[in-house]
């Protein structure tokens, strides 16, 4: 897993090349909305990208992480099917439903039934390298989402230049990132992480939570500021030295959110073991997101080392899939 994380910038570079050479076809209908279907490591890219383009996208972008699709899906909907293995049963069900709704379908996969369905129905399908844990291939799937949205004129920003800048950033910062990740991982050993981020960075917080779950084999939770100020903040009433708080912050954070963070810290520090602020680096939202993702991935795998667990192993998920296959 450490090798896969180390190669994140190379993966992004390869992903850009794949996107540039993707053979996509225009929609015969005007696109009025977008639905991204995917789960786990294949689905988190949809959550992150939908937030990154929210100020630029000219139609609503929704994400489905289950068996079903919204009623609004029709021939004017662009449905992006993201399944690394190509065999994710929930996503396959969504694909079948989208086919029945005559939606414009584009697939991102390494093979499996998704590729087969795309080929037999004549749908666009971007192929990405297979054979790795899906969570380690976010760079491949996330990048293709930008290319698909750009091709269909849903976004207009220069995402490719921003991705290339992000690659340079994490390459330049790699040693610093690993050092910071190691220091944070030490704080999390034998603790339950509580992850906070601000509006439009929830995908980043979820990605980090998922990586801690799968790589470090621990439970944790996340919430978003300012929403948590209207509910979860009230729950901070008892001292618990097992809780370690991490706050992901944009270095250009909105002033009112920063004011909230400072007040929150004053309240929470009375009850939590410690509070760690993690600030973004980079200029564009894409650069900042890639930096956060890479740092979070390193924290998770180093924490796995400190805990003496195998970051790659996901036996419980394999057991679940095996049990479901018998039903």
Which CATH class, in words, describes the domain spanning 2-157?
alpha beta
Which CATH class, in words, describes the domain spanning 173-307?
alpha beta
Q: What are phi and psi of 326, to 5 degrees?
A: -90, -5
From the candidates 230, 262, 266, 326, give the one annotated as an active-site residue.
230
Residue among 100, 36, 94, 104 at smallest CA distance from 68: 94
Decide if 2-157 and 173-307 have a common fold.
yes
Each domain of the chain, given as residue ranges in start order, spans 2-157, 173-307
What pLDDT, on a 0 to 100 scale, did the predictor assign at position 321?
87
From the candidates 10, 168, 270, 321, give the one annotated as an active-site residue.
321
d(CA 273, CA 241) in angstroms, rounded, equals: 4
To the query of whether residue 174 is one of the catalytic residues in this protein, the response is: no
What pLDDT, on a 0 to 100 scale, did the predictor assign at position 320?
86
What pLDDT, on a 0 to 100 scale, did the predictor assign at position 156?
86
d(CA 317, CA 89) in angstroms, rounded, equals: 13
| pLDDT tens, residue order, the chain (327 aa) | 999 999 999 999 999 999 999 999 999 999 999 999 999 999 999 999 999 999 999 999 999 999 999 999 999 999 999 999 999 999 999 999 999 999 999 999 999 999 999 999 999 999 999 999 999 999 999 999 999 999 999 998 799 999 999 999 999 999 999 999 999 999 999 999 999 999 999 999 999 999 999 999 999 999 999 999 999 999 999 999 999 999 999 999 999 999 999 999 999 999 999 999 999 999 999 999 999 999 999 999 999 999 999 999 999 988 888 898 898
From the candidates 214, 217, 287, 288, give the one annotated as an active-site residue.
214
What pLDDT, on a 0 to 100 scale, did the predictor assign at position 159?
96
To the query of whether residue 230 is one of the catalytic residues in this protein, the response is: yes
Q: What are phi and psi of 309, to 5 degrees?
A: -115, 160
Count of CB atoms situated within 10 Å of the CB of 239: 10
To the query of whether residue 239 is one of the catalytic residues in this protein, the response is: no
Number of H helices, E strands in the chain: 11, 9
What pLDDT, on a 0 to 100 scale, did the predictor assign at position 78?
98
pTM for this model (two decimals)? 0.96
What pLDDT, on a 0 to 100 scale, did the predictor assign at position 232?
98
């Amino acid at each position: 897993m450490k090798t896969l994380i180390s190669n994140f910038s190379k993966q992004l570079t390869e992903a850009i090349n794949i996107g540039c050479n993707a053979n996509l076809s225009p929609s015969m209908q005007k696109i009025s909305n977008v639905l991204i279907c995917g789960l786990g490591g294949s689905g988190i890219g949809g959550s992150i990208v939908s937030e990154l383009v929210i100020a630029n996208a000219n139609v609503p972008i929704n994400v489905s992480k289950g068996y079903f699709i919204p009623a609004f899906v029709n021939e004017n909907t662009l449905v992006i099917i993201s399944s690394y293995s190509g065999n994710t049963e929930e996503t396959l069900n969504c694909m079948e439903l989208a086919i029945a709704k005559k939606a414009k379908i584009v697939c991102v996969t390494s093979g499996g039934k998704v590729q087969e369905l795309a080929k037999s129905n004549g749908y666009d399908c971007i192929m990405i390298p297979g054979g790795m844990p899906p969570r380690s291939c976010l760079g491949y799937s996330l990048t293709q989402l930008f290319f698909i949205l750009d091709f269909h004129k849903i976004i207009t920003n220069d995402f490719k230049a921003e991705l290339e800048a992000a690659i340079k950033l994490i390459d330049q910062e790699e040693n610093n990132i690993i050092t910071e990740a190691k220091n944070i991982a030490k704080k999390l050993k034998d603790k339950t992480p509580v992850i906070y981020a601000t509006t439009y960075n929830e995908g980043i917080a979820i990605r980090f939570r998922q990586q801690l779950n799968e790589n470090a084999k621990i439970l944790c939770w996340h919430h978003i500021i300012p929403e948590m100020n209207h509910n979860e903040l009230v729950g901070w009433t008892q001292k618990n030295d097992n809780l370690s708080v991490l706050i992901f912050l944009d270095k250009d954070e909105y002033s009112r959110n920063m004011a909230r963070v400072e007040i929150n810290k004053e309240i929470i520090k009375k009850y939590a073991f410690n509070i760690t602020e993690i600030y973004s680096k980079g200029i564009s939202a894409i650069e900042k997101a890639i930096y956060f993702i890479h740092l979070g991935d390193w924290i998770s795998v180093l924490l796995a080392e400190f805990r003496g667990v195998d970051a790659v192993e996901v036996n419980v998920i394999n057991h679940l899939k095996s049990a479901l296959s018998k039903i």
